[in-house]
């Protein structure tokens, strides 16, 4: 029986630090990503890929606000636009490696849980970085909420409610069963607000869903064996930015949960990744990985001299962190 891995690729992997986000830049980055994904497929896995869109959807929102010639669209529709654009770039990159028709991108709608208290607090960074003075001016002019991000400046932050239901799950499963690499739930999916008193989605939500949480939900609904969270660091760090900083290799879910409870993983960066990994393992997943594209295959297979962070459900009496 084929194994399935859901890979969550950050929007920053397609628009890297120092880049402006041109189509040519995103295409070049997608080609590098495609080689890493191909190595996972070569190791015997079926792959579903979820991409982020933080830089891209924020840039698109700025474009919308810079003109009065055409009406601005709501944030949920901008999510749909980035799904189409980034999905096309990723599919073309995969096809260059594996041959035309190897991949398919599906615009995916995701109902969100607006009852979660976290849904009322803007936490999701989008768009470019600004210096503090720029950020303060834009926040005053446009009604934004801005916060420091990653020590690189300030960014706009928007609401990011937890995903609750993936509407196109049957279509995604059918494409996976047909042998295609599927790009789905891009940017976390197009967020839909449930109708009052009912389960059916009523309309678009002004939010951006965290793509790691969406990938975890998708992996669980598909019955995937692995959830692979791709980031800019080779391993998860404890005491990040301090003299005590250290990396995590292979750890149990219990260890990772303890570090999370101790506040080791910030909510705007590594926190959602670890939360998604733990939720996936609690709901029957076998392996969660957090690492860079270059170390992805080695970490999944457990081979090679350099590996990223593996989180496993089983407890080992010897302790697994290394």
Active site positions, annotated: 11-12, 124, 211, 273
Residues paired with 201 in a beta bridge: 194
Contact 12, 19 (CB under 8 A): no
- At 135, is the secondary structure helix, strand, or coil? helix
- Rounded to a whole number of angstroms, the distance between the first and last alpha carbons of the chain is 31
Residue 311: strand pairing partners: 251, 288
**CB distance 130 to 145 below 8 Å:** no
Q: Looking at residue 272, what DSSP letter applies?
A: H
Q: Which two tokens stand for residue 206?
A: 């002004």
23: three-class secondary structure by DSSP: helix
Tokens 């250290």, located at residue: 246
φ, ψ of residue 224 to 5 degrees: the values are -70, 155
Contact between 249 and 186 (Cβ < 8 Å): no
CA distances from 215 to 16, 25, 63, 185 (A): 21, 25, 28, 7
Q: Which two tokens stand for residue 76?
A: 């949920």
DSSP 163-221: EEEETTHHHHHHHHHTT-EEEESGGG-EEEEEPTTSSSEEEE-SS---HHHHHHHHHHH
């Amino acid at each position: 029986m084929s194994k399935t891995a859901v890979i969550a690729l950050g929007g920053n992997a397609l628009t890297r630090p120092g880049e402006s986000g041109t189509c040519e830049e995103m295409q070049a980055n997608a080609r590098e990503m495609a080689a890493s994904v191909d190595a996972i497929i070569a190791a015997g896995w079926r792959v579903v890929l979820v991409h982020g869109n933080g830089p891209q959807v924020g840039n698109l929102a700025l474009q919308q606000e810079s003109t009065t010639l055409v009406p601005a669209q709501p944030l949920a529709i901008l999510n749909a636009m980035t799904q189409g654009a980034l999905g096309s770039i990723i599919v073309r990159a995969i096809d260059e490696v594996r041959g035309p028709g190897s991949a398919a991108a599906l615009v995916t709608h995701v109902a969100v849980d607006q009852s979660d208290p976290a849904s009322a607090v803007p936490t999701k960074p989008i768009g470019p970085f600004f210096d503090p003075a720029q950020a303060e001016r834009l926040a005053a002019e446009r009604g934004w909420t801005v916060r420091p991000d990653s020590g690189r400046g300030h960014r706009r932050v928007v609401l990011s409610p937890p995903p609750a239901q993936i509407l196109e799950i049957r279509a995604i499963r059918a494409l996976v069963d047909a042998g295609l690499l599927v790009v789905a739930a891009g940017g976390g999916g197009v967020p839909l607000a449930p109708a009052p008193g009912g389960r059916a989605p009523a309309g678009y939500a002004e939010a951006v869903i965290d793509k790691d949480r969406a990938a975890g939900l998708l992996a669980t609904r598909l019955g995937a064996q692995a959830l692979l969270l791709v980031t800019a660091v080779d391993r998860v760090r404890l005491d990040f930015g301090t003299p005590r900083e250290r990396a995590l290799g292979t750890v149990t879910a219990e260890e990772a949960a303890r570090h999370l409870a101790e506040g080791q993983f910030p909510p705007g960066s590594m926190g959602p990744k670890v939360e998604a990994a733990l939720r996936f393992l609690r709901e029957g997943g076998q392996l969660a990985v957090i690492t860079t594209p270059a170390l992805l295959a080695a970490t999944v297979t457990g081979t090679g001299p350099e590996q990223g962070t593996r989180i496993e459900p089983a407890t080992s009496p010897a302790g697994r962190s290394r």
